[in-house]
A and B are shown apart, each in its own frame.
Chain A
Amino acid sequence: MKTNGNIDYWSLMAKYYANECSNEEVNELNSWISENPENEILFYQVKEDLENINLSKSMKKVNVDLAWDKVKNRIQETETEEPRVESKVKIFKMAGILKYAAAIILLVAIGFFSAKMYQSYSKLNVYAENTEQGKVVTLPDGSVVTLNSDSKLVYPKKFAQNERRVVLEGEAFFDVSKNPEYPFIIETKNAEVKVLGTTFNVNAKYPGDQVEVFVATGLVQLSEIQNTENKILISPGDVGVIQDKSISKSQNQDLNRIAWKTKEFVFKETYISDVISTLNRAYNTSITCNDDNILNLRYTVTFRNQEIESIVNVMARTFDLKIEQSENEIKLVKKSI
């Protein structure tokens, strides 16, 4: 280390910052630092240099496209809201759009509720449960949540100073009052959903520990609950999926993703088997069919705000089927000749 009586302090500092120094070398470095203030300054400057080198590496990871999506979404959010004060006709039109703004669907494991939900359910919290459909809950901040069947929500009587946090299991449509400084966060089994937009829909009805988030407009951040650094931003039209620690997103292909809430169904060349499962999910019914000849038929139709009975009747007439209705089940069978 010594050359002509002078310590090679550059190598020694490098060694120190690389955690390679022996105790003896640390002492050597210490005495060099205390020798004069300039040495000390240099020691810290080198530290800063190394930090700057790391910073420069992280800067190369800047994602320009993602950043633009963020800004564009902010712009669109403010621009879609402006017309609300301009004319009544526009307000009416906007209501339809806003209903789907930032629509989210979450699918989480049922088991989650017992542990986490009861833990959060204290005197300070309110617990809302719905066994039927369309129960509407108004949160302390004025946000409105529509709960689907078999869905549960825990929220505080009064939200915290810095955020609005709720715990959900099941499916719900959220109409969140906008306040960018006061983020709205939904906790689920292994996911945390941070809403950066205004309104959205949440579904947590399905078993398994997969969480799915669908956004119609607005912007939503989906992250692992244990590690919120593991996150993605989901833009309009995309579905984010989190399973274990992996998060991905893709374009939404399911036209009926929030049909449970809107009662608007669009089927295009859809197999009857898929039509039935979509309807069962939306109406919490048990429509069954055991006949493969029927299940493999394809159906193109649109239903708007109809009772499930009338939908099933239309299907039966279209395909010339017979309805066998019992207490808990609607069964579709071939008409006997």
Chain B
Amino acid sequence: MNPTEQKTLKRIKEGDIKQFEIVFKEFYQSLCNFAVKYVKNIEQAEEVVQDTFYNIWKNKAELNIITSFKSYLYSAVRNNCLQVLRVRSLDIKYENYYKSHYNNDSVDPVDEINAKELSNVIDKALSTLPERCRIIFKMSRDEGFKYHEIAEKLSISIKTVEANMGKALKHFRIYLKDYAEAV
């Protein structure tokens, strides 16, 4: 832990809620992105992250962070996600599957997550798509245009729209393959 973080930790342990708010706001979004990978639903992800922070504050007197805030928070959120999944899965096999895959508390998750947050992966995939392909994909998926409408607006053939949509899916598959395997 660096000296700045040590100072922050000390203040939080003394009950400085302003410091706690700063830490919360710094990590909230990325922790939600991280949690959603496990729980597959943004509301639940937010709930898990909020619970994690709430419990940290509640037990702040015993709070002991050796590595870094980031590392600590990601571990805590991951453990809570696993708890949610455990509760969710009544199927023993499913539970065992999760245990064997995730329940390795000794691993610092930070290293494996940096490049692997879902929205990062998708943003990266989007940004590396050829421009026309990206425009077509967004018009179809985000704006809900039909193929013939896209063709009309961009003065291209429907065949070109079809081909570009296929190209985009293939492109995403390549990027998301790594993401899915990391989970």
Chain A interfacial positions (CB closer than 8 Å to B): 8-15, 18, 20, 42, 45-46, 48-50, 52-62, 64-65, 67-68, 70-72, 74-75, 78
* C-alpha gap A15/B164 in the complex (Å): 11
Enumerate chain B residues within 8 angstroms of A59, measured Cβ to Cβ: 32-33, 36, 42, 45, 118-119
Does B122 count as interface, using CB distance less than 8 angstroms? yes
Given A56-B119, A71-B50, verify A62-B28 contact (CB < 8 Å): yes
* C-alpha gap A13/B169 in the complex (Å): 8
Chain B interfacial positions (CB closer than 8 Å to A): 17, 21, 24-25, 28-29, 32-33, 36, 40, 42, 45-46, 49-50, 53-54, 57-58, 118-119, 122-123, 140-142, 146-147, 162-163, 165-170, 172-173, 176-177, 179-180
Closest A residue to B148 by CB, please name it: A20
* C-alpha gap A192/B146 in the complex (Å): 38
Enumerate chain A residues within 8 angstroms of B57, measured Cβ to Cβ: 71, 75
A11 B40 Cβ-Cβ under 8 A: no
Query: Which of A13, A45, A55 is in CB contact (< 8 Å) with B36?
Result: A55
A56 B169 Cβ-Cβ under 8 A: no
A-B CB contacts (within 8 Å), total count: 106
Enumerate chain A residues within 8 angstroms of B167, measured Cβ to Cβ: 10-11
B28 A46 Cβ-Cβ under 8 A: no
B173 A46 Cβ-Cβ under 8 A: yes
A78 B58 Cβ-Cβ under 8 A: yes
* C-alpha gap A1/B42 in the complex (Å): 38
| Nearest CB of B to A240, in Å | 20
Given A14-B168, A64-B28, A67-B28, verify A53-B180 contact (CB < 8 Å): no
* C-alpha gap A45/B172 in the complex (Å): 11
A15 B54 Cβ-Cβ under 8 A: no
A10 B119 Cβ-Cβ under 8 A: no
Closest A residue to B125 by CB, please name it: A53
Enumerate chain A residues within 8 angstroms of B40, measured Cβ to Cβ: 55
Given A15-B162, A46-B173, A57-B142, verify A52-B25 contact (CB < 8 Å): no
**Besides the known contacts A48-B176, A72-B21, A75-B17, 20 further A-B residue pairs in the complex with CB atoms under 8 A apart:** A8-B162, A10-B166, A14-B169, A49-B172, A49-B176, A56-B119, A56-B123, A57-B142, A59-B42, A59-B119, A62-B29, A62-B32, A62-B46, A64-B25, A65-B25, A67-B49, A71-B53, A71-B54, A71-B57, A74-B50
